[in-house]
Amino acid sequence: MTDKDDLVAGRYRLAGRIGRGAMGVVWRAHDERLDRTVAVKLLSFDAAEDEQVFREARLAAKIQHPNAIQVHDVVEHDGRPCLIMEYLPSDSLSAVLTGRGALPADEVARIGAQIAGALAAAHDAGIVHRDIKPDNVLIGPDGTVKITDFGISRLIGEGTATGSGIIAGTPAYLAPEIACGGTAGFPSDVYSLGSTLYTATEGAPPYGFDENPIVLLRRVATGEIAPPRQSGALGPLLLWLLCADPSQRPSMREAHEHLATGKPPPQAQPYAATMTLPSRKPRRRGILVTAAAVALVALGLVMGLAINRDGESATLPSNAPTTPPTTTTAGPSSCQADYQITNSWQDGYEALVTIRSSTAARLNGWTVTWMLPGGHSINNLWNGTLSLDGKTVRVAPAQWNTAVDSKTSFGFIAATNGTRPVTPDVVCTAR
């Protein structure tokens, strides 16, 4: 039995439980060698019984991305495999939805852009997540979003270690082809992302909730969803992600581009049909059957993904100051922008810009402008539209957030040539 203050692998001192999943318990722990806080997931089966854990952990540790939890190590403790992971004080998207209810479309787009950026990097590396759902999306206190639980992912083409004919997932977020016994792939990840974002804006998954997972699987297999009613202009994009035909869905990189920029899908995507969904919300449960029906297994592995540098970039000349990362600059009109660097690493950083109305009027047609130093480029921007005019960066609202009552925000990930993040003077203007 594992208890508080136990020492794992001679260096990780367990401090307290922070979660429990189908395949194990997660502890907050102190790495006594590197003097840092980590998360330790003790899996609930013998290490000798499943070499897949070690294969998945080795794969996970190879790639890093600022929007994915990183795996540091895999060790054994009392004959069981343990994953040593990045620790992020956070709530899951599921917990946020429980506490707040359905979220505004612009906030969901910001969350979705970060998830899609990490998943696009995974797909570029040939990795399928296979279990994207609100429980596996973590949101930190500063708004940083990270995807976790790549435990049932595998390289495309690699033989499954769970047995012939076994597939994995969570019923409410599965793609129709998986519910019919098909093979998980990049398009099924796109569908699960769509289901997760749909849940965030609509307050329930596309197929609702049901005590009987088999009934829910049959519903998923039809591909017939209730059209989004609370998602505003984000609705057409959700329908594109949720196309019943996998070949008609966007790639994950396309999904990221549309979520980050507010760009609408190429055309309004039709849905198969509508249905009346039950209103009750029972506890979540999983099932395991053969591929002729469906196998639903939730493993607890977390991975980091490589930072995406393939997106559209905007590089500006050098000469910017190196001031501390906090600023608030009021524009000449009824608009104020607060710029904050929320995360940084050796060759990049993440920033969040919060826009507030200085009066009781709604924010319409706002624009935030600033200058970037040389060697800096913006690769991923969510909840806004980016443009350049010489040395000036301009951000305007995303298409589904052209007017808000008194407050909104946008964020971005920037790459650098190794120089430290800087905070520019920002100016917000609004009609």
Binding residues for ATP: 41
How many angstroms separate the CA atoms of 108 and 48, rounded? 41
Q: Distance of CA 119 to CAs 102, 348, 357, Å?
A: 23, 19, 34
How many angstroms separate the CA atoms of 14 and 37, rounded? 10
How many angstroms separate the CA atoms of 237 and 256, rounded? 11
Catalytic option among 131, 135, 149, 189: 131
Count of beta carbons in the 10 Å neighbourhood of residue 299: 22
Give yes or no: 131 in active site.
yes
* Sequence ranges of the binding site: 41
Count of beta carbons in the 10 Å neighbourhood of residue 181: 17
Q: Please say whether the beta carbons of 349 and 327 come within 8 A.
A: no
How many angstroms separate the CA atoms of 204 and 258, rounded? 23
How many angstroms separate the CA atoms of 334 and 359, rounded? 6
What's the start-to-end Cα distance of the chain, in Å? 63
Q: Distance of CA 127 to CAs 51, 84, 85, 163, Å?
A: 18, 20, 19, 19
The phi-psi region of residue 22 (left if phi > 0; otherwise alpha if psi is between -120 and 50; otherwise beta) is alpha
Would you state the structure tokens that stand for residue 366, as one six-digit string? 């706002």
Kindly provide the b/e burial profile for residues 402-416, where b requires at least 16 CB atoms within 10 angstroms of the residue's own CB: bebeeebbbbbbbbb
Task: Point out which residues pair with 41 in neighbouring strands.
Answer: 26, 83
Which amino acid would we find at residue 58? R
Would you state the structure tokens that stand for residue 343, as one six-digit string? 């995360």
Residue (of 56, 65, 62, 18) closest to 40 by Cα position: 18
Helix axes 252-261, 105-124, angle to 10 degrees: 150
Segment holding 218, helix H or strand E: helix 213-222
How many angstroms separate the CA atoms of 296 and 221, rounded? 14
Helix, strand and coil in the chain, % to nearest 5: 25, 30, 45
SS3 for 430? coil
Q: Just list the catalytic residues.
A: 131
